[in-house]
């Protein structure tokens, strides 16, 4: 998740319970990674997932017009979806 040209110069210190540390060590070993690699990969994956819907995207005028047209376009008929939504949910049966 780091780019190859980046040098690791920053530190993050964590205080863990002994059982949490053992769990991380076991998970890292099962993944054939060091604890540092395992924690960093896991934390970055969670961070990217958390930030995914907050990303900024930029469009030029033509792209913006096409995007707005797609949003304003009528929804295509979907009989299967209509039938699914008309069914009573399993938890209400």
Domain layout of the chain by residue ranges = 1-93
- Share in percent of the chain as helix, strand, coil (round to 5): 60, 0, 40
**Contact of 67 with 59, CB cutoff 8 Å:** yes
Per-residue pLDDT of the chain (93 residues; tens, 9 = 90+): 556 788 989 999 999 999 999 999 999 999 999 999 999 999 999 999 888 877 777 899 999 999 999 999 999 999 999 999 999 988 988
Give the 3-state DSSP-derived string for 1-19, with helices as H, strands as E and coil as C. Answer: CCCCCCCCCCCCCCCCCHH
pTM over 0.75: no
């Amino acid at each position: 998740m780091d780019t190859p040209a980046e040098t690791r110069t920053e530190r993050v210190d964590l205080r863990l319970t002994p059982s949490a540390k053992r769990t991380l060590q076991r998970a890292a070993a099962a993944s054939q990674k060091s604890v540092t690699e395992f924690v960093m990969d896991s934390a970055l994956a969670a961070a990217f997932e958390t930030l995914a819907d907050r990303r900024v995207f930029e469009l030029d005028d033509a792209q913006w017009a096409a995007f707005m047209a797609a949003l304003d376009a009528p929804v295509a008929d979907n009989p299967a979806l209509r039938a699914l939504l008309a069914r009573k949910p399993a938890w209400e049966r």
